[in-house]
Structure 1
Amino acid sequence: MADTTGTPGTGTGSLPFDSDRPRKSSWRYIGPGIVVAATGVGAGDLVATLIAGSNFGYTLLWAAVIGCLVKISLAEACGRWHLATGRTLFDGWASLGRWTTYFFAVYVVVWGFVYGAAAMSSSALPLQALFPDVFPADWSIKPWAILCGIVGLVFVWFNKYDVFEKVMTVLVGVMFVVTVYLAIRVTPNLGDAFAGLLPVLPDEKDSVLNTLGLIGGVGGTITLAAYGYWVNAKGWTTTGWMKVMRLDNRVAYLTTGVFVVAMLFVGAELLHASHVAISSGDKGLLDLTGVLEAQYGTVTAKLFLVGFFATSFTSLIGVWHGVSLMFADFVERYRSARVTGTEVARGDREKGLPFRAYLLWLTFPPIVLLFQGQPFRLIILYGVLGAAFMPFLALTLLWLLNSHRTPHRWRNGRLSNGMLAVAGLLFVVLCVQQIWDQPWSDVF
């Protein structure tokens, strides 16, 4: 007979039977998926998709769609682990051996230091373009970058998950309106777009690696791992929420798919047809702003900058919140303090010292990089660790969800195993490529 004596939120007993009853999938529950979509799709992802559209037209539309399907499988696996086991992802990693702790410890410190500067700079670029006279031109984007980082810090520091989710939803709405408006404005060729759903490789050098890069880069890195933590923070802590989580996750990557397809349309119609090239990285969106102003006027260009800021700032505050939750969990496991999903749902971690310490780490040390440049060897290490994280995530999920650590009912089926295996192989190839491409001769 089921144990119905536990008390929700105590972390010491079974939850009441009612809490395990399946909730009906409903749009009114949607939340963590919006957060992971907003955080995962940054300015760099949009630029990569724009460049793919610029270089190959609609040819790689199918790759963008597959990228969304791959990320659906990864995020679903993260959420399923949290709900099925009542344990966090880092708790699962720790059960695989100390090597996971060492990898994550180095990764989260180095990655956070470099990413903090990148996220602040990305959010600052559209603000400087929108308000060029606020700060002297020779100050570059530094004041805006520092301001974005501190605003993100204050917002996450003083607000719990529910407020955070509402703000992210509003910013996603802005992103959605802007990207869909642009896709409609450039008048896409729907016949060519549908033809782009056929899996065809461009007839160019390195087309396979470029295609794999587009698939792997569609929306999310460590933020995929944070999805399970946001699921718990929403208050979903038992298997009764499994159907809701799966609907939420599909909405996340349907939203991501809209962003990516819309920007590929813009690249194919606006840049490919006119043979206009844009820069790689976040500055490519500023290049696009100039093209939009020349083609469609100042209002469209300004609207795009607003969408650019929403895209960048959602990634910033999403990482400030989600990865800080993961770091707090990491510290608690290191201290051998057992903390369950119900305690995450109460917001205990959001007010704890480890959560806030990592918030400070993401914000203030990276400011040094804004003024002194990025140390070469540190950037190499950042690139290697970043390339290694996604295969680490895919393959450890494959391990955890096929083992005794997961209740039998919620272990992987054939489809999940197939998708995670494909994801793992994809990211191993991309990892090897990125490590190979690093300028090691300059390091030694």
Structure 2
Amino acid sequence: MVKRNLLKAIGPGLLWAGAAIGVSHIVQSTRAGAGFGFALIWVIIFANLLKYPFFEFAPRYAASTGETLIDGYKRLGKWAVWLYAVITVFTMFFLMTAVTVVTAGIFANVLHSSLPIYQWAIIIILILAAIVVIGKYSVIDRFVKIIIVLLAISAIIAVISAFSLGYHPKPEYTHTFNWITDIGFLLALVGWMPTAIDVSVWHSVWTITKKKESGYAPKLKESLLDFNIGYFGTAVLSIIFLSLGALIMYGSGESFSDSGIDFAGQLINLFTKSIGSWAYYIIAIAALATMVSTTITCLDAYPRVLEPTSKIIIPKLNREKFTKRIRLIALAIVTGGTVIIFVFFLGNMKQMVDIATIIAFLTAPILGWLNLKVIKLDHVPEEAKPNKFLIVLSWIGLFFLTLFGLYFLYIRFVL
């Protein structure tokens, strides 16, 4: 019975992992290894550690109160909901464009298509938007579980094979991290490592949605276990992808292309160089499925969070008959805005990803602070509140995220 209930509880954490793994791991972690070897592995470890409380508070709050973080923001005051709404609307188009351009690049590369990448992006996002409209949480939930396992197995095999080949960077092609010229990439790496903090809100919504659709209310320990499996699993994968970039590309004289299509080919070659060319289609399918998983997870999440947010900001919309309409309108806005921004940036994947991740970094302290305030609200059961270690870790995380954000702004606009 315990195992059966645990299986019922698992899902939101893996959906969270599905949203996290895509760009931050496949793109940014791999770029970190390819550009700096193992020098930035400490950044990935600390980013995962310092952001942990802000993500953990989402399932903790949802499981113990039966509310989403958006409901918690409402309890803080309407200003908190407005703040979250502004950040979401400001960042969602950049996030969706970043994940779509990577997905489109992999599709075009694997299929050896001559179609322009923006056309692939339009095709992909329209198809996935249709799936979101007709699908249910349970369908996306099952799909993501399978994809994450497939990618994890592929990545583990690849990195073991890569380590067996040794680490032999050529000194003339190596690069030492510079705290002034490379700070933009550092923030881009941390911004989505393991993912943007606003995804914590998605997690709380998925937790409540799964409870409604499955009819099972998971205990706090079960929800936290589900989260920890996804969180620490993605942390390990981020180190694996950095290792692949370091072992195969760092010091080789090669560098990742800014083009989504070319980058996709280079990414797949990282795996085939360590495993063998026979694994090309296995890796291609795993990478493709992972990015599709990330894209559809994000497309599913934005309408889910914008619907209750809109109802709080505009009370007249707080009727059941408006629920589906709001979600459809939100999905249409996200989809349309993504296509427009993507065409504007003309397929420069690196630029698009860096903009999205840096914005995520700069807004992280605000959302982290909101989550900390919510979990300390009086109506949260005392036994469900985080221990002192998590509270202290939260303040340390807020301090460093704010400090590095201010340092970046100083480097970019003052020096």
Do both share a fold (TM > 0.5)?
yes
Query: Would the aligned equivalents of 2:24 and 2:193 in 1 still touch at CA under 8 Å?
Result: no
Does structure 1 residue 420 correspond to structure 2 residue 400? no
Does structure 1 residue 105 correspond to structure 2 residue 78? no
Query: Would the aligned equivalents of 2:56 and 2:224 in 1 still touch at CA under 8 Å?
Result: yes
**Structure 1 residues 394 and 47 mapped into 2: Cα distance closer, same or farther (>3 Å)?**
same
**Equivalent in the alignment of 2:106:** 126
Task: Read off the aligned partner of 1:77 and give its amino acid letter.
Answer: F
Match of 1:274 among 236, 243, 252: 252
**Structure 1 residues 33 and 280 mapped into 2: Cα distance closer, same or farther (>3 Å)?**
farther
Query: Would the aligned equivalents of 1:384 and 1:434 in 2 still touch at CA under 8 Å?
Result: no
Does structure 1 residue 93 correspond to structure 2 residue 73? yes
Q: How many residues align?
A: 397
CA distance in 2, matches of 1:68, 1:383: 15
**Equivalent in the alignment of 1:184:** 160
Query: Would the aligned equivalents of 1:43 and 1:308 in 2 still touch at CA under 8 Å?
Result: no
CA distance in 1, matches of 2:240, 2:153: 11
The Cα RMSD (Å) is: 3.8
Task: Read off the aligned partner of 1:120 and give its amino acid letter.
Answer: T
Q: Report deviation, 1:417.
A: 0.3
- 1:283-322 CA distances to partner (integer Å, 9 max, x unpaired)? 6443333555567654434433323222321221111112
**Structure 1 residues 349 and 173 mapped into 2: Cα distance closer, same or farther (>3 Å)?**
farther
Query: Which region of structure 1 is more displaced relative to structure 2, 264-273 or 350-359?
Result: 350-359
CA distance in 1, matches of 2:357, 2:246: 29
**Structure 1 residues 247 and 280 mapped into 2: Cα distance closer, same or farther (>3 Å)?**
farther
Query: Would the aligned equivalents of 2:105 and 2:263 in 1 still touch at CA under 8 Å?
Result: no
**Equivalent in the alignment of 1:18:** none
**Equivalent in the alignment of 2:363:** 389
**Equivalent in the alignment of 2:339:** 367
For normalisation by structure 2, the TM-score amounts to 0.81
Query: Would the aligned equivalents of 1:78 and 1:228 in 2 still touch at CA under 8 Å?
Result: yes
Task: Read off the aligned partner of 2:192 and give its amino acid letter.
Answer: G
- 1:118-139 CA distances to partner (integer Å, 9 max, x unpaired)? 3322211111011124xxx3x4
SS of 2:376's equivalent in the other structure is coil
**Structure 1 residues 111 and 214 mapped into 2: Cα distance closer, same or farther (>3 Å)?**
closer
**Equivalent in the alignment of 1:325:** 304
Match of 1:76 among 56, 61, 71: 56
**Structure 1 residues 81 and 44 mapped into 2: Cα distance closer, same or farther (>3 Å)?**
closer
Query: Would the aligned equivalents of 2:211 and 2:218 in 1 still touch at CA under 8 Å?
Result: no
**Equivalent in the alignment of 1:5:** none
Q: Report deviation, 1:28.
A: 5.3
Higher helix fraction (1 or 2): 2
- 1:38-73 CA distances to partner (integer Å, 9 max, x unpaired)? 111223433221232234433443443333334442
Q: Which runs of 5+ in 1 are unaligned?
A: 1-21, 193-201
Match of 2:26 among 46, 69, 72: 46
Task: Read off the aligned partner of 2:178 and give its amino acid letter.
Answer: K
Query: Would the aligned equivalents of 1:56 and 1:268 in 2 still touch at CA under 8 Å?
Result: yes
**Equivalent in the alignment of 1:158:** 134
- 1:78-117 CA distances to partner (integer Å, 9 max, x unpaired)? 1112222333212222333343233333332232333333
The within-5 A match list for 1:428-439 is 428-436=402-410
**Structure 1 residues 440 and 98 mapped into 2: Cα distance closer, same or farther (>3 Å)?**
farther
CA distance in 1, matches of 2:393, 2:316: 34
Query: Would the aligned equivalents of 2:158 and 2:271 in 1 still touch at CA under 8 Å?
Result: no
Q: Report deviation, 1:34.
A: 0.8
Query: Would the aligned equivalents of 2:167 and 2:247 in 1 still touch at CA under 8 Å?
Result: no
**Structure 1 residues 379 and 394 mapped into 2: Cα distance closer, same or farther (>3 Å)?**
same
**Equivalent in the alignment of 1:4:** none
Does structure 1 residue 287 correspond to structure 2 residue 262? no
CA distance in 2, matches of 1:291, 1:80: 38
Does structure 1 residue 32 correspond to structure 2 residue 12? yes
Query: Which region of structure 1 is more displaced relative to structure 2, 273-282 or 303-312?
Result: 273-282
Does structure 1 residue 407 correspond to structure 2 residue 387? no
Query: Which region of structure 1 is more displaced relative to structure 2, 416-425 or 235-244?
Result: 235-244
Query: Would the aligned equivalents of 2:18 and 2:293 in 1 still touch at CA under 8 Å?
Result: yes
Q: Report deviation, 1:203.
A: 6.9
Q: Report deviation, 1:330.
A: 0.2
For normalisation by structure 1, the TM-score amounts to 0.77
Task: Read off the aligned partner of 1:75 and give its amino acid letter.
Answer: F
Query: Which region of structure 1 is more displaced relative to structure 2, 398-407 or 123-132?
Result: 398-407
The within-5 A match list for 1:337-356 is 352-356=324-328
SS of 2:163's equivalent in the other structure is coil
Task: Read off the aligned partner of 1:97 and give its amino acid letter.
Answer: G
Task: Read off the aligned partner of 1:250 and give its amino acid letter.
Answer: N
Larger-gyration structure (1/2) = 1
Q: Report deviation, 1:252.
A: 0.4
Query: Would the aligned equivalents of 1:64 and 1:218 in 2 still touch at CA under 8 Å?
Result: yes
Q: Report deviation, 1:183.
A: 1.2
SS of 1:41's equivalent in the other structure is helix
Task: Read off the aligned partner of 2:193 and give its amino acid letter.
Answer: V
Query: Would the aligned equivalents of 1:71 and 1:253 in 2 still touch at CA under 8 Å?
Result: no
CA distance in 2, matches of 1:116, 1:51: 20
Does structure 1 residue 229 correspond to structure 2 residue 205? yes
Query: Would the aligned equivalents of 1:68 and 1:256 in 2 still touch at CA under 8 Å?
Result: no
Query: Would the aligned equivalents of 1:229 and 1:325 in 2 still touch at CA under 8 Å?
Result: yes
**Equivalent in the alignment of 1:260:** 238
**Structure 1 residues 302 and 370 mapped into 2: Cα distance closer, same or farther (>3 Å)?**
same
Q: State the percentage of identical aligned residues.
A: 17
Task: Read off the aligned partner of 2:288 and give its amino acid letter.
Answer: F
